[in-house]
């Protein structure tokens, strides 16, 4: 187990390194002149050159990379070119909002998708299974902003039950005051993944129910419900649970679109705004945070999978 954890930690480190280099190179080739972004079009070439010098942007790339990573690790994230505020506190606040939204989405995804998948798997080929299968295929095909839009039209415009705009005053989230603003974004974020996880669960359930030990248990005369609950579920749920944790990348990407649709102040909309406004340090910081989340959750998924499934080779 220790060796497994060490090895996983090493690949985690290497992934983070490669991804940070990728982000740095991509942002270095971006046709953005930071001095122009900061000083505006009325500035003279001389002042722009001076600022470029001051920001250290004319040094060689490897030196700039080391400098950038060092500053990032020390929490020295600098100021936004566009907003003129320190990046770290802004990112922290936005990240918290996004995490609340993501956790809410996951609490919808996990029970709903596992239940649907297990039911479909047990009733393979029957009408229940066919409708769940087709429904989940359709749900994974509909882009998140389309779902969000339909939910807004139904619940906000037509029924007038929930707000379609989730912007928060001062970006501060107060769950007691703002919970209504979270409902539609959370269901939108959950929608696509429910279909996906349900499909994985269904396939996993079918393969477990067809295996020899389940047939033995049934032939032994154990009640069907007992076999499903005690024998089958334990093994059938390993794959979907591991899949859910690897879908954090998808969730983060989905949040970029969903947060913009609902004007919700999260890390995704922060990144999209930064990208649209050429705000280089903000792009880098929010991208780094997002991939840290993703890579860490994948490592967590691997460890979880190893713990759940003792048969996995740990070497």
Tell me: does residue 292 bind other proteins (CB under 8 A). no
Tell me: does residue 239 bind other proteins (CB under 8 A). no
Single out the residue of 68, 79, 72, 76 nearest to residue 37, CA to CA.
79
Nearest distance from residue 188's CB to other proteins, in Å?
Answer: 13
Nearest distance from residue 31's CB to other proteins, in Å?
Answer: 7
Cα–Cα distance between 21 and 26 in angstroms, integer? 8
* H-state helical runs in the chain: 2-29, 34-39, 45-55, 61-73, 87-122, 127-141, 144-151, 175-209, 212-219, 224-226, 233-236, 238-246, 248-262, 267-276, 280-308
Stretch that binds other proteins, among 10-18, 42-50, 79-87, 302-310 (CB under 8 A): 10-18
Nearer to other proteins, 77 or 191 (CB): 191
Q: Taking the CB of residue 162, how many other CB atoms lie within 10 A of it? A: 17
Cα–Cα distance between 170 and 97 in angstroms, integer? 12
Cα–Cα distance between 287 and 294 in angstroms, integer? 11
Cα–Cα distance between 207 and 181 in angstroms, integer? 41
Cα–Cα distance between 120 and 204 in angstroms, integer? 11
Nearest distance from residue 220's CB to other proteins, in Å?
Answer: 31
| Residue 272 main-chain phi, psi, to 5 deg | -60, -45
The interface with other proteins within residues 160-219 (CB under 8 A) comprises 164
Choose which of 4, 5, 8, 27 interacts with other proteins (CB under 8 A): 27
Nearer to other proteins, 117 or 237 (CB): 117
Beta-carbon contacts of 24 under 8 Å, excluding residues fewer than 6 positions away, are: 61, 64, 65, 68, 69, 284
The interface with other proteins within residues 99-158 (CB under 8 A) comprises 134, 137-138, 140-146, 149-150, 152-153, 157-158
Cα–Cα distance between 13 and 291 in angstroms, integer? 12
Tell me: does residue 22 bind other proteins (CB under 8 A). yes
Q: Which residue in this structure is represented by tokens 């060490």?
A: 6
Stretch that binds other proteins, among 23-31, 72-80, 96-104, 172-180 (CB under 8 A): 23-31
Tell me: does residue 290 bind other proteins (CB under 8 A). yes
Stretch that binds other proteins, among 60-68, 113-121, 172-180, 272-280 (CB under 8 A): 272-280
Nearer to other proteins, 55 or 249 (CB): 249
Stretch that binds other proteins, among 21-29, 76-84, 104-112, 166-174 (CB under 8 A): 21-29
Nearest distance from residue 249's CB to other proteins, in Å?
Answer: 5
- By CB under 8 A, the count of residues binding other proteins is 51
Residues that bind other proteins (CB under 8 A): 11, 14-15, 18-19, 22-23, 26-27, 29-32, 134, 137-138, 140-146, 149-150, 152-153, 157-158, 164, 249-250, 252-254, 256-257, 260-261, 271-272, 275-276, 278, 283, 287, 290-291, 294-295, 298
């Amino acid at each position: 187990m220790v060796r497994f954890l060490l090895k996983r930690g090493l690949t985690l480190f290497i992934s983070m390194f490669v991804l940070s280099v990728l982000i740095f190179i991509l942002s270095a080739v971006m046709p953005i002149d930071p001095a122009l972004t900061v000083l505006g079009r009325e500035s003279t070439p001389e002042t722009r050159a001076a600022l470029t010098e001051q920001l250290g942007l004319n040094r060689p790339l490897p030196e700039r990379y080391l400098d950038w990573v060092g500053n990032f690790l020390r929490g020295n994230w600098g100021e936004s070119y566009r907003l003129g505020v320190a990046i770290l506190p802004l990112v922290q606040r936005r990240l918290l909002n996004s995490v609340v939204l993501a956790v809410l989405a996951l609490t919808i995804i996990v029970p709903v998708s596992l239940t649907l998948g297990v039911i479909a798997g047990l009733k393979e080929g029957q009408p229940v299974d066919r409708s769940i299968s087709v429904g989940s295929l359709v749900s994974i095909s509909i882009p998140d902003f389309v779902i969000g839009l339909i939910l807004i039209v139904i619940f906000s415009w037509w029924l007038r039950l929930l707000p379609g705009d989730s912007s928060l005053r001062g970006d501060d989230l107060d769950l007691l005051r703002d919970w209504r603003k979270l409902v539609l974004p959370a269901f939108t974020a959950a929608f696509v993944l429910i279909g996906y996880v349900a499909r994985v669960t269904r396939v996993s359930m079918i393969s477990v129910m067809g295996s020899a030990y389940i047939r033995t248990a049934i032939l032994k005369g154990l009640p069907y419900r007992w076999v499903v609950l005690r024998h089958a579920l334990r093994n059938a749920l390993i794959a979907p649970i591991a899949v859910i944790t690897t879908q954090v990348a998808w969730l983060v990407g989905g949040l970029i679109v969903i947060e913009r649709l609902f004007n919700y102040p999260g890390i995704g909309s922060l990144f999209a705004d930064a990208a649209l406004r050429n705000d280089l340090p903000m792009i880098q910081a929010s991208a780094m945070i997002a991939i840290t989340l993703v890579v860490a959750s994948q490592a967590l998924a691997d460890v979880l999978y190893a713990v759940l499934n003792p048969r996995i080779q740990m070497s």
